[in-house]
Homo-oligomer: A and B are copies of this chain.
Amino acid sequence: MDRIPILKLGSALLVTIQVDMHDRLATALQEDLTEKIVSARAKGVLIDISALEIVDSFIGRMLDHIAAISRMLDAETVVVGMRPAVAITLVELGLSLSGVKTALNVERGMDLIRRRLIETEAADGAGDE
């Protein structure tokens, strides 16, 4: 496995982290995600980490990076399915993921992104498309 699949769901992209992340995989994910945000005109990125029982600072930083890159491309990052133990570890590591929104599950994450889309379109008048 050298690539994590990125699935398009409406105006959002969904990534499920299931495997141990290493440098090359994380870099590939960031590159793929960046390209796909632009090509799919995505407004949100959902990252499901429900399979992760532990996180380290490497994954924490990767999530932060992805959120920062997505924001520059006008897409919001929502981390979904975080286990309680993972939340504790992240805070203990000093990674509060300030640029990242979180949601209990994919459906709530999609709601967040949909709501933001509606707000943006309302602010733009009739939408910019």
Contacts and interface: CB of A to CB of B under 8 A. Distances in A.
Interface residues of A, number: 21
A2 to B, nearest CB: 9
A72 interface: no
A117 to B, nearest CB: 16
Oligomeric state, in number of copies?
2
Interface in A105-122: 105-107, 110
A41 to B, nearest CB: 14
A19 interface: yes
Nearest to A46: B7
Given A16-B16, A16-B18, A18-B16, A50 B10 contact: no
A91 interface: no
The 4 A-B residue pairs with the shortest CB-CB distance in the complex, in nearest-first order? A5-B51, A7-B106, A5-B50, A16-B16
